[in-house]
Structure 1
Amino acid sequence: MLSLRFLSPTTLRRVRNWLFVGTVLASGTAVGPWTSLAHAADDESASLDALERQMARIQAEQRELQKTMLSMQKQIAAHRAALTHGGKAGTPTTSGHHVLTARNAAIAPGTENTLHSGEPETGISFGGDTTTAMDTHAGHGVRHASDGSIQPVFSGANEKPEVDAVIGHRAEDIISRIAENGVGPHARETAGAQAAGALGDHGVFHMGPVTLILGGFLDASTVLENRHIASGTFNYWQAMPYPNESRYHTNNFEGSARYSRISLMARGNVDAHSTISGFYEMDFGAGADTTDAYESNSYAFRMRQLYLAYDNSDLNFHFLAGQAWSMLTPGRIGIIPRQESLPETIESSMLAGQTWARQLQFRFVKDFLQHRLWLGLSIENSATLYDTTGFTDNAGAVTLPNGKTATISSNGTGLTNDAPFSNEIAPDVIAKVAWDPSWGHYEAEGILHFPHDRVASVGEGRNHTAIAGGGGGSMVLPVVPHKVEVRLAGLAGVGIGRYGSVLLPDATLKSTGEPVPIPSVQATGGVIAHPNPLIDVYGYFGYQAAGRRYSNYGDGSYGYGNPNYSNAGCEVELSTLGCTANTRSVMEATIGAWYRFFKGKYGTVEAGAQLAYSRRDAWKGQGGAPDTSMSQIFLDFRYLPFQ
């Protein structure tokens, strides 16, 4: 049995006193409440008051006793460290572990004993503080806090080693300290974190070895714009009208709560080094056939994200399977789910030129150099967005000028809806490298895509596959760490237009039917400031453009951006002349702010305002190169019950 000679006389005296208090609490004082209740019929009010005072006194005594026990555990831990390690932190124990390794040294100062997320991870809680196990030795362990003091580590009831590295915990407030790049994660309550799928810090529940964490918000947003585009706060820039349409000449107001969101994560520790988690995020952004904009506004429930993740802190390996933000989406630290670098804008389509998709993927990630260098490979669901201007397109069966038919897509059948699903031969292959030095976050990425179709006539046919792809990158520059940051991102290539918010086409067809990838480029830049914990201010500029790919056959003109197309009627309202106007580029400039005016145990209530200006330019055709623009004012109120 461990000797207590090293304990100070003051500590021993406190222990003796509180052991006496504990004996009294277990015997005499415990009878008090029941005695009071027995006389409740005579004086119910006085008895209840006395009971409350007695409970408060017992709770205060329990807190003092817990503090004394924690002090004893610290002294025991320090004594063990002196005996086992000769007083040297970081020395390997007999089991091969370290007191403090580079892998788990990433916990930020001030968070050693308390997880900011509000959820107790592995460990034992005293007075609201949670001590997280970093290493074990004979069922106990030690670690050094930022002030150099010894901190005790408690193992579980079964004397099994606890999780020993922060990356396995999947808690955003801790995982940000892995690289210490000056950027950190999204602060949970910010709009950028909400867009990425931030978890709550209030809605945390424990069901045996599994932790359940709630997230999401109730949203009421509106937009006032000087053009009529029936897409609400989701900007569909390709529908921005030219002056030939009456929609160009009228303002439009629309509001909805359809983008309210709920998320749920289930997480459990498989062993001392690995964690498995499942994440489900959904909203009401889908419009069903029964949606009635005049009465019920009954929008459909839809899946935003749904995936499982496995993280192993011993191998520094991470795996994700399911629907999540594409790995092409810019991030802000490592290659980590729910840490995507997304704009704080109110508009649901985020920003023109923003690189993103949410789709099925199988992602494999390995990190090196104490979590500073990250390599990722993702196999993701493919979908080619075709432009068939000039052709006759019958639900994906495109009639060619030579009389043959090119099949590029088919409408959904069975349990899928009637929307067209492109004919794909292989998934998209995406690779990314991320670097987190001591200042900033930097990424480089590449993608391969394979547009595919079949050209046939009666009795014969042939398949055609093109090779498309591109590359790009992003960076987050913490000009004033955690106060002001600059974000830059871009992607360029051929056949990858759908990965931008504007949804420019990936490919068109030759007159003979073979798929032709269309060149595209997209870029965004922004400045985001957090002057205090309640206010976020932002300004962004985004740009996306598509090149020309066209052909002529006989008297016919085909493809994207063909200069033979007529644009003669684009400037006259209700003109009967043509206005093909294939989009050449879209730009957007926007500024906005969020203010969290209520924040407490009940959650967070915030309001946002955004001003946006967009411009759409068309490829030149017969009659010129028309352009159009749009100005918008967005307003939003959100209640985040779990933040």
Structure 2
Amino acid sequence: MAAILVISSISLQAQTSTATKKPAVHKKAPAESPLERQIRELREQMASQQAQIDALKQQNADKDAKLAAAQQSAQDAQTAAANASAKADSLSSNLSANTEAVSNLNSTVTDLKTTNVGLAQTISDTKKTISDELESPLAIHYKGIAITPVAFFAGEMVYRQRALNADVNTPFNSTPYPGAAQANTSELNFSGRQSRIGALFVGNPGPFKLSGYVEADFLGAGASSNDNQSNSYVLRQRQIWAQAALNSGFTVTGGQMWSLVTETKKSTDNRTENLPMTIDAQYQVGFSWERQPGVRFQQKIGGFTGAVSVEQAEIVYSATNANANFFIGNAGAGGGLYNLTANYSNNVAPDVIVKATYDSKFGHYEIGGLSRWFRDRYYPNQTLATPSAAGGTNNTKVGGGFFVNARAPITKFADVGVHVLGGTGVGRYGTSTLPDVTVHPDGTLEPIKNLQGLASVELHPVTKLDLFGYWGEEYAQRTTYLSTIGADAGKLVGYAPITSTNAGCNTETLPTTPTSGLGSIGVAGNPPYSPGTPANCLGATKDLYEATAGFTYRFYNSPKYGRLQYQMQYSYLSRQAWAGVTSATGAATTTYGAPHGTNNMVFTSFRYYIP
């Protein structure tokens, strides 16, 4: 084929060359020879093949182009796939993040819903609290001071088998012996005088708390007070004190308050005094207490508290056959705002009391002591044939004692307690006010040994009901001295001499005879208000004891509206005297006896306490 192509090429060149040399002559085409026909056919075949080759080249070029395009497309597809994969990864990550965000959002929405519910409840509670504080505040606020009113209103009654001419407070040491006319009559008295009013004032600057407290009732009597028509009994000071309490637990209190001797429910804190649950405003024989002016210091350390107080002193005196060679004090001076009909001792020092307490879940426990000083002025030359005040001298004797108080819950329904106070010259701190001191023949004082004890059981079977029972006793020791002075030589001087007569303690006497006709009627203590009193009856008290039982029932108790309650109390009181002479004058044999007085008492009380 190559040779044919070469020959064809040469032939074409020769023809071309000839053509250029000679002009075209239109001649009749000669007949084609076989060789020429073959050459022509070969040429046509070559042209056809060339066209096919060109077509194949074109196809190859197209294929190459398509392949390149396909390769490019493949690369683009790979890139797109990579991008798509990256986008898919990114989308997956975003989807995961979105899922977590959606979850967090759902949680946040849930929290918001809960918060909204809580906020709504808080708003409701706050609204209720504000409404309650506006409608029924726990305290009245004046500037930075919170004022809490304290009050109850009482209607009460007392029945005594043996009349004492007393309101709802019982003068235990005045219980009559059988020979007294009033031992044969009873009494029934109604009273609203134990109703109480007061307020607590509290300011809290931060580093310390300031408090003031006032409390009063109507168990005082004025010159015009009586039971005839308008029972105008006067308002009586019970407590008035001021207090500063540091955050460190140190507290100082000054004013009239319960004595530190008085048992408390918590620490030595004011206003936590653990008083018997009695209606009797004189409480219970064996209960040790005073309400008097003083200053108290206390320090708390955990469950322990130590306290010391200095308190108003006063002397309760009793003696038989005493000489007029001494004095303790005087009647009150009107210009000094003391009671003209009461005696006041001239005190050399205050009573000093120390106490330690411990509080735990097992109860409240106290131990303490008190010191007292008794001064009088005596006159050694009073007993001379010619009495003289020359040589008058002041003399001071020291007394005091120790006390313990314990109160514990034996179950959640019952509390038991015990109280004991003993010493010399501590009779005044007992509720019966037995004497503190007596006197020597020379006029110097002598403290009397005293003992006070109280046991209690308080039950709380249900929320509305309390049951209580108490047994208490107080004792004063016989304290006498043989006189060797002048005309009194050979006499026993002091408290409850055995040589004193008790012969008439059980014999009733006639009322006092009027001395001024009708003009004396209505005068206090004059007929017909002058029952007979036993003649020849010293009856110096040896001991008193009282057994009490009662209950308190709360009909209604609300922190918003207060408490309505009813109480009833029964008490059996016994007064035992020291023995004295009971034989008649001139009897061959001297006999001795001790009179004994008793009383049965019933109290009722209906009270409303403000919340």
Shift of 1:14: 7.0
Partner of 1:629: 598
Partner of 2:334: 413
Partner of 1:379: 310
Alpha-carbon displacement from aligned partner over 1:67-123 (angstroms, at most 9, x marks no partner): 2699xxxxxxxxxxxxxxxxxxxxxxxxxxxxxxxxxxxxxxxxxxxxxxxxxxxxx
SS of residue in 2 equivalent to 1:498 = helix
Partner of 2:233: 299
Alpha-carbon displacement from aligned partner over 1:278-310 (angstroms, at most 9, x marks no partner): 000000011111112211111111100000111
Partner of 2:211: 277
Distance 1:442 1:576, change over 3 A: closer
Distance 1:68 1:490, change over 3 A: same
SS of residue in 2 equivalent to 1:277 = strand
Query: For 1:61-210, what aligned pairs fall within 5 Å after superposition?
Result: 65=120, 67=122, 127-128=128-129, 204-210=139-145
CA contact (8 A) 1:66 1:127 kept: no
Identity %: 30
CA contact (8 A) 1:412 1:421 kept: no
Partner of 2:432: 502
SS of residue in 2 equivalent to 1:424 = coil
Distance 1:203 1:215, change over 3 A: farther
Whether 1:360 aligns to 2:293 is yes
Shift of 1:6: 13
Shift of 1:390: 2.7
Shift of 1:129: 9.2
- C-alpha separation between the residues in 2 aligned to 1:306 and 1:214? 14
- C-alpha separation between the residues in 1 aligned to 2:493 and 2:332? 23
User: 1:469 is matched by which residue type in structure 2?
Assistant: G
Partner of 2:405: 474
- C-alpha separation between the residues in 1 aligned to 2:277 and 2:106? 56
Shift of 1:126: 6.2
Alpha-carbon displacement from aligned partner over 1:158-186 (angstroms, at most 9, x marks no partner): xxxxxxxxxxxxxxxxxxxxxxxxxxxxx
- C-alpha separation between the residues in 1 aligned to 2:162 and 2:402? 35
- C-alpha separation between the residues in 2 aligned to 1:445 and 1:378? 11
Partner of 1:190: none
CA contact (8 A) 2:404 2:421 kept: yes
Shift of 1:222: 0.7
Structure 2's unaligned 5+ residue stretches are: 1-103, 380-387, 484-488, 510-532, 583-592
Whether 1:450 aligns to 2:550 is no
User: 1:332 is matched by which residue type in structure 2?
Assistant: K
Distance 1:68 1:329, change over 3 A: closer
Whether 1:616 aligns to 2:580 is no
For residue 578 of structure 1, the aligned residue among 525, 533, 536 is 536
SS of residue in 1 equivalent to 2:564 = strand
Partner of 2:461: 531
For residue 245 of structure 2, the aligned residue among 307, 311, 314 is 311
SS of residue in 1 equivalent to 2:183 = helix
Partner of 1:341: 274
Alpha-carbon displacement from aligned partner over 1:105-160 (angstroms, at most 9, x marks no partner): xxxxxxxxxxxxxxxxxxxx564399xxxxxxxxxxxxxxxxxxxxxxxxxxxxxx
For residue 215 of structure 1, the aligned residue among 150, 166, 188 is 150
Partner of 2:421: 491
CA contact (8 A) 2:499 2:581 kept: yes
Distance 1:559 1:9, change over 3 A: same
* Corresponding residue pairs, total: 455
CA contact (8 A) 1:11 1:68 kept: no
Partner of 2:554: 596
- C-alpha separation between the residues in 1 aligned to 2:355 and 2:243? 18
Partner of 1:171: none
User: 2:227 is matched by which residue type in structure 1?
Assistant: A
Distance 1:576 1:360, change over 3 A: closer
CA contact (8 A) 2:475 2:542 kept: yes
CA contact (8 A) 2:567 2:605 kept: yes
SS of residue in 1 equivalent to 2:603 = strand
CA contact (8 A) 2:320 2:497 kept: no
CA contact (8 A) 1:408 1:452 kept: no
* Greater fraction helix: 2
Whether 1:549 aligns to 2:471 is no
- C-alpha separation between the residues in 1 aligned to 2:577 and 2:330? 26
CA contact (8 A) 2:177 2:597 kept: yes
Shift of 1:341: 1.1
Higher mean Cα deviation, 450-459 or 332-341? 450-459
CA contact (8 A) 1:318 1:365 kept: yes
User: 1:279 is matched by which residue type in structure 2?
Assistant: Y
SS of residue in 1 equivalent to 2:348 = coil
CA contact (8 A) 2:221 2:234 kept: yes
CA contact (8 A) 1:352 1:542 kept: yes
User: 2:468 is matched by which residue type in structure 1?
Assistant: Y
Structure 1's unaligned 5+ residue stretches are: 19-62, 71-124, 131-200, 392-398
- C-alpha separation between the residues in 1 aligned to 2:107 and 2:150? 45
- C-alpha separation between the residues in 1 aligned to 2:218 and 2:396? 37
Distance 1:380 1:8, change over 3 A: farther
Shift of 1:386: 0.8
- C-alpha separation between the residues in 2 aligned to 1:628 and 1:410? 31
Shift of 1:603: 1.9
- C-alpha separation between the residues in 2 aligned to 1:425 and 1:603? 46
SS of residue in 2 equivalent to 1:523 = strand
Shift of 1:621: 0.7
Distance 1:333 1:576, change over 3 A: closer
SS of residue in 2 equivalent to 1:128 = helix
SS of residue in 2 equivalent to 1:327 = coil
Distance 1:464 1:293, change over 3 A: same
SS of residue in 1 equivalent to 2:110 = helix
Partner of 2:28: none
CA contact (8 A) 2:474 2:544 kept: yes
SS of residue in 2 equivalent to 1:466 = strand
- C-alpha separation between the residues in 1 aligned to 2:106 and 2:402? 63
CA contact (8 A) 1:410 1:423 kept: no
The TM-score normalised by the length of structure 1 is 0.68
- C-alpha separation between the residues in 2 aligned to 1:341 and 1:360? 19
Shift of 1:202: 6.3
- C-alpha separation between the residues in 2 aligned to 1:513 and 1:357? 28
- C-alpha separation between the residues in 2 aligned to 1:412 and 1:588? 37
- C-alpha separation between the residues in 2 aligned to 1:234 and 1:202? 35
Distance 1:221 1:470, change over 3 A: same
SS of residue in 2 equivalent to 1:451 = strand
CA contact (8 A) 1:411 1:420 kept: yes
Query: Which protein has the larger Cα radius of gyration, Structure 1 or Structure 2?
Result: 2
CA contact (8 A) 2:329 2:343 kept: no
User: 2:209 is matched by which residue type in structure 1?
Assistant: T
User: 1:231 is matched by which residue type in structure 2?
Assistant: A
User: 1:633 is matched by which residue type in structure 2?
Assistant: V
CA contact (8 A) 1:545 1:584 kept: yes
- C-alpha separation between the residues in 2 aligned to 1:410 and 1:299? 23
Higher mean Cα deviation, 452-461 or 520-529? 452-461
CA contact (8 A) 2:570 2:601 kept: yes
